[in-house]
Amino acid sequence: MKKRTLLQATLLAATSLALAAPAQAQDFPPNKPVTLVVGFAAGGAADAAARLIAKKLGENIGQTVVVDNRGGAGGNIAHQYVAKAPADGSVLLFGSVGPLTIAPHIMKVGYNPFTDLAPISGGVNFPNVLVVHKGAGVKTLAEFVAKAKKAPGSVDYASTGAGSASHLAGELFNQRAGVEMVHVPYKGGAPALQDLLGERVTSYFAAPPTALPHIETGKLIPLATTGLTRPAYMPNIPTVAEAGYPGFEALNWYAFVAPGKTPAPMLDRWNKEIVKVLQDPAVADALKIHGLTPQPTTRAEFAAFMKKEYEQWGKVVKERKITQN
């Protein structure tokens, strides 16, 4: 009789623990400040979007959401950090196309984007704009290509780091235009832009939010955008496709991911809250002012999108024989 009682008590305790674990996993919001990690320096497009979204997220869930800039290695340092962070929903990553779908083909990144990180939702996307400083001596894409072909290796281009979207946009352009621009990696958009303005680098496939003010003042000359269609805020600038390279497309995007072992119920709640923010008319309008298009998705939709991008850029890396050096 005592053995039966002991067995019943053991089974009851085990059942209680099993029921408590999922319940605890679904506690939302986390009972401590939430950190939204960004892989680039403050002042760039990723930082601007993250801060705008984080502010609204914090208001909606009644919890502080702090943006943590961990720049370096094209955003890979931030992705490494989040891959090893506590999987309790308190740490999120504003992941980007480079570290999630490009860099793993080029270098040892220290994480598997499909197992060490868990997809939550798309965030924002935008085309890059190829800009040169005013002393470059070119005003059109055709003139730029002619300059690069006339003296191979004399034209360089900045990027936010090896394996970043701006890096691969340049490599794809090298491939399609038959030129060999020299790649100059930086630790983020802000330092890359600073050196372009200082005429220490010739060109940059820049994020529109950071480039537009300098285009308007004439300090930078826009040559082409990298989407298939002209963005509404740059109606007079042709796309690379329109300027002679049909089908050229290199979009930049940022999305929300979490540590890979984060419980599914927590990921679902974050998806719900993030999609709510991205669909908020005021937030969407604020993002569009910065040239950013909201990209809310389900978890499954973003996982499929990320896989497609991973395969697409993997082919470019292989064909261009791109390495870390």
Task: Look at residues 261, 255, 254 and name the one whose alpha carbon lies nearest to residue 84.
Answer: 261
Non-local (6+) Cβ contacts of 16 within 8 A are none
Which residue, of 225, 243, 266, is where some domain finishes?
225
Domain shared by 257 and 122, yes or no: yes
Domain shared by 122 and 258, yes or no: yes
Which residue, of 158, 190, 225, is where some domain finishes?
225
Q: Are 34 and 90 in contact (CB under 8 A)?
A: yes
Domain shared by 156 and 199, yes or no: yes
Domain of 163? Answer: 127-225
pLDDT in tens, the chain (325 residues): 444 554 454 444 444 444 444 434 458 989 999 999 999 888 777 888 999 999 999 999 999 999 999 988 878 999 999 999 999 999 999 999 999 999 999 999 999 999 999 999 999 999 999 999 999 999 999 999 999 999 999 999 999 888 888 999 999 999 999 999 999 999 888 899 999 999 999 999 998 878 999 999 999 999 999 999 999 889 999 999 999 999 999 998 999 999 999 999 999 999 999 999 999 999 999 998 878 899 999 999 999 999 999 998 999 999 888 887 6
pLDDT value at residue 72: 82
Q: Are 79 and 95 in contact (CB under 8 A)?
A: yes
Note whether residue 1 is domain-resident: no
Note whether residue 12 is domain-resident: no
Domain shared by 115 and 40, yes or no: yes
Residue given tokens 């059942």 in the structure block: 15
pTM of the model: 0.79
Note whether residue 48 is domain-resident: yes
Whichever domain contains 132, its CATH number is 3.40.190.10
Identity at 12, one-letter amino acid code: L
Give how many domains the chain has, as a whole number: 2
Whichever domain contains 310, its CATH number is 3.40.190.150
Alpha carbons within 13 A on the beta-carbon side of 5: 2
Note whether residue 26 is domain-resident: no
pLDDT value at residue 5: 53
Rounded to an integer, what distance in angstroms lies between the CA atom of residue 297 and that of residue 123? 8
Which residue, of 190, 225, 260, is where some domain finishes?
225
Domain shared by 107 and 163, yes or no: no
Rounded to an integer, what distance in angstroms lies between the CA atom of residue 279 and that of residue 273? 10
Note whether residue 62 is domain-resident: yes
Query: In Å, how far are 42, 65, 100, 193, 222 from 139, measured between CA atoms?
Result: 30, 43, 34, 18, 8
Note whether residue 325 is domain-resident: no
